[in-house]
Amino acid sequence: MKSRVGSAAIGEATENPKEIAPIVKEGYLWKRGEFIRNWRERYYILRADGTFSGYKTREESLIKGEIQNDFKLQEDVTIIKQEKPKPNTFIVQGVILRGGPVDRMYYTDTPEDREMWVTAIQGVVEATATGDWNSCLKLVEEKEVRMYDISLLYSQGKNKQPFQVRPLQLSDYDRGFLELLSQEGNIGNISKTEFTSQFHAMKSSSDNYYVTVLEDTVSNRVISTATLVTELQFNHSYPKVGWIKDIVIDKDHADQQQLKDILLNSLKNLGEKIGCRQIEAISLSYDRHDGDV
């Protein structure tokens, strides 16, 4: 999963209690009980200062509800990956609980998710020793699995607003992507395994699907999305065309028109960059009466 990145350094977060260290990773994990050896699903938030907090649900984390698992990573932590008693299991050895080191066992729904969690935890452990949380965040970022090459968007320049246009990532399953889509209708209960399978199927269809999202870098949530679909045709003037479809803008956002403009302009530029001679928007989900790009 992708990092939820903020702007406070580890040193700043620990020296100034008003500062909150940036989130490196968040999402659901299955945790094995210490005494009752059953598995419980918890929503974990891992911050750059080593704070590793588990909540009953993501909603509980948003309202700062009761912390079920209040752990702290330190530089002596080690991680062991194994496939028993569950596939995609990993053990965090030496995590601090109430001042003393303990071992905790987790598993994830997919191998990719386990790899991202292990990378994030290892990065934070190293950062607690060096104080260099930027390297930690960069390490996690490089492990991200994206729908397409993010460099295709870089030449468009940085937006002054607190928004980031980027390809859909596997970690967006836990960043509100499906919740956003459900604003336009019932999409069904899509598991992480199903999401991962469909993601890879679309990603492997080279030069066809460019699922793009707009992330609010303050709330670290996906707030709009659209897909650029390309096709070839026998037309000398327009041998490659692009269609912008499946557009969804967060209905709760204060400035939907701004989000729409940022996203569609980015996809138009992307289409031109990959050689589309013609680009049209269809099925504007957020405003069905507006057909203009």
Quick check: 267 and 238 in contact, CB under 8 A?
no
- Which tokens is 75 given? 């530089």
For residue 155, the SS3 value is coil
Amino acid 19: pLDDT = 61
Residues of the chain with CATH 3.40.630.30: 151-281
Q: Which CATH number fits domain 10-142: 3.40.718.10, 3.90.180.10, 2.30.29.30, 3.30.70.60?
A: 2.30.29.30
Amino acid 114: pLDDT = 94
pTM over the 0.85 mark: no
Pick from 112, 158, 162, 119: nearest CA to 24: 119
Please report, as a single letter, which amino acid is at residue 110. Answer: T
Phi, psi of 185 (to 5 degrees): 145, 170
Residue pointed to by tokens 């990532």: 169
For residue 170, the SS3 value is helix
Pick from 210, 128, 214, 109: nearest CA to 172: 214
Topology (CATH level 3) of domain 151-281: Aminopeptidase (3.40.630)
Amino acid 5: pLDDT = 35
Residues of the chain with CATH 2.30.29.30: 10-142
pLDDT-flagged residues of the chain (< 70): 1-19, 154-160, 206, 283-293
Amino acid 144: pLDDT = 86
